[in-house]
Amino acid sequence: MPLEVAEVKECLRGVAVGLLTPFDQEGEIEYKKIQENAQTHYEEGIRTFLAAANISEYHSLSQEERVSVTEASLDALPSDACVLAGVGGSTDNAQDLIQAYERIGVDAMMIMPPDHAYLHEKGLLEYYRSLASVTERPLVPYVRGFNPSAEYLIELSQLDSVAGIKYAIKDPVKLGVATTNGPDDTVWIDGLAEPYAVSYWAEGIEGFSAGVSNFRPEVGQALFKALSNENWSRARDLRNICVPYQNFRDETGQNNTIAGAISVPAVKQGLKLAGMHGGAVREPIQSLSAEEKNRAAEIYEQLDDNISRLIE
């Protein structure tokens, strides 16, 4: 049975790990590897999972594959794990996907950043209302890729269907205005991973999505504990050890000028280095070059040393 809304909100107050999609060299999904990664994270204490998410290469998956990778994740995890599944696209397609997810027992719907070139804040709110009309499961909108007003964020947080908001905008002031003026029981999640968790905690976040913690979950667990205990010095130390790998993720890669192009393959390489499953990627993403893999290994080794010093 899916978790109750209150249980979903409690799970959002923690570390949300993205379940990446391992592809083989022919581009086929390796479902068993998704399940093994999910089980490893659960054993490390993670309880909140993002399936068919941005980092799962959502836009490179078919509608059917989004459901199948999510179902594989659900099958691998105990009933107390909270699984959010990515939803996006046109209203009709998104509603169909939500209903498919509901049939397999997803706990909540993470509504992907809008992929329209032109947006209207009132239209977006109507979009969320339309999606909520076909499900009893809560929504978690992912705010990224556009610059909405604080007023829009407040209205979004007031929708009855919205359990939480994943905020991935580099604007702490707007976040603080929205959290202060919205409902107390809407859970705000830092969508920019560990580097922003400390500063955004002061502005009202209660959880964060994983960056480095996608392959070293103990870092996220320790950081969340430090933030919860208001141990700011330790929280900053833990944040700082994540920054080099996160900066690496932000790079353009070779023969490219678009920032963040290597973000997904960099995390997949982190999974491999940590003894989990990464796998290949699908276009329009490209795999790391040999040079980039060597750099990832060097940064990972530094991260591992710092984890040994701070956590183990």
Q: Provide the CATH number for the domain around residue 48.
A: 3.20.20.70
pLDDT, tens digit, 9 for 90 and up, residues 30-81: 999 999 999 999 999 999 999 999 999 999 999 999 999 999 999 999 999 9
Provide the percentage of residues in the chain whose pLDDT is more than 90: 98
Range of the domain at 224: 5-231
Residue 68 CA to residue 233 CA, distance in Å, equals 42
Residue 40 CA to residue 43 CA, distance in Å, equals 5
Provide the percentage of residues in the chain whose pLDDT is more than 70: 100
pTM above 0.95, yes or no: yes
pLDDT, tens digit, 9 for 90 and up, residues 193-250: 999 999 999 999 999 999 999 999 999 999 999 999 999 999 999 999 999 999 999 9
Q: Is residue 288 assigned to a domain?
A: no
pLDDT, tens digit, 9 for 90 and up, residues 75-120: 999 999 999 999 999 999 999 999 999 999 999 999 999 989 999 9
* CB atoms closer than 10 angstroms to residue 284: 10
Q: Is residue 32 assigned to a domain?
A: yes
Q: What is the mean pLDDT of the chain?
A: 97
167 dihedral zone (left: phi>0; alpha: psi -120 to 50; beta): beta
Nearest to 210 by CA among 195, 230, 232: 195
pLDDT at 292: 98
Q: Is residue 167 assigned to a domain?
A: yes
* Number of domains, the chain: 1
Q: Is residue 299 assigned to a domain?
A: no
Res. 155 pLDDT band, cuts 50 70 90: very high
Q: Is residue 42 assigned to a domain?
A: yes
Q: Is residue 283 assigned to a domain?
A: no
Q: Is residue 277 assigned to a domain?
A: no
pLDDT, tens digit, 9 for 90 and up, residues 173-197: 999 999 999 999 999 999 999 999 9
State the average pLDDT over residues 285-309: 97
Residue 84 CA to residue 15 CA, distance in Å, equals 13
pLDDT at 90: 96
- Flag whether pLDDT at 1 surpasses 90: no
Q: Is residue 107 assigned to a domain?
A: yes
- Flag whether pLDDT at 312 surpasses 80: no
